[in-house]
Amino acid sequence: MKQQLLPSQLPQHIGIIMDGNGRWAKLRGLPRTAGHKAGAAIFKKIMTHCGERGIKYVTVYAFSTENWKRSPDEVHALMDLFMQYMEDAKNYYKDNIQIHIIGDRTPFSPEMVARMEACESDTAAATGLHLNVALNYGGQHELTQAMQKIAQKVKAGELAPEEITEETIEQNLYTAGMPPVDLIIRPSGEYRLSNFMIWQAAYAEYVFMDTLWPDFGPKELDKALAVYAKRNRRFGAEEPEDKK
């Protein structure tokens, strides 16, 4: 299906909750890790497609602050996939994709943190899609860290409490300087935000789909974009006269 959407109908920033890898594998009698491997391949394909569609920002939920509760084998396999992905950074640069790794890096090995930094610097000059890969990310944790940074500034006398605005909070999030999330896509038939981008998605449109993430192809992305283009976004304002 060729998409005929105008640039003004496209979301500037999409958040994707890549869900359903485990169920996809189970349906095929495969280990969960095989689902993640298939999910990683689809993820790369979808990011290239987003770039080709002219999307400016995408944030993907790859590993949450809660995902450490999974079996050591599964966590290990996921870390291997993230390492491999970051190792190939130069390929994404060729696709004009600039990568940012967002989330709390404290629990990761020094080798992995070094790989994150290298991946970001190897793609920094790309001018197309800005891709945020959320690793050890949690929206509540992100806000807590932002509050701590702001409180430090207040304590140091650099900021008065009454000077704290919504912008102050935004500037202290991992997504500082990026536009808010316009569209959240969650595949796999789950209807939750799961602690993802809870500040940035305040006015986002949600598109929930039944497809499991490893089956989520460019066609599904185009379907989500078409649904988004038909939504009437009001940001709390009155319905315009011509839409009543």
Q: Is 216 an interacting residue with respect to ligand FPP (CB under 6 A)? A: no
Strand bridging mode 205-208 / 183-186: parallel
Which residues are registered as beta bridge partners of 14?
Answer: 58, 183
Q: Is 242 an active-site residue?
A: no
- What residues between 110 and 169 interact with ligand FPP by CB under 6 A? 133
Q: Is 67 an active-site residue?
A: yes
Q: Is 102 an interacting residue with respect to ligand FPP (CB under 6 A)? A: no
Which residues make Cβ contacts (< 8 Å) with residue 144, sequence separation at least 6? none
Q: Is 19 an interacting residue with respect to ligand FPP (CB under 6 A)? A: yes
Which residues are registered as beta bridge partners of 131?
Answer: 58, 99
Identify which of residues 23 and 153 has a Cβ nearer to ligand FPP in the complex. 23
Query: In this structure, are residues 13 and 184 in contact, taking their beta carbons and an 8 Å threshold?
Result: no
CA distances for 100 relative to 106, 135, 222, angstroms:
16, 10, 24
What mask, x for binding ligand FPP by CB under 6 A, covers residues 37 to 66?
A: --xx--x------------------x----
Q: Is 215 an interacting residue with respect to ligand FPP (CB under 6 A)? A: no
Where do we find the tokens 């499991």?
Answer: 212
Q: Is 36 an interacting residue with respect to ligand FPP (CB under 6 A)? A: yes
Q: Which two tokens stand for residue 154?
A: 């207040």
Contacts with ligand FPP, residue ranges (CB under 6 A): 18-23, 36, 39-40, 43, 62, 67, 78, 81-82, 85, 133, 213
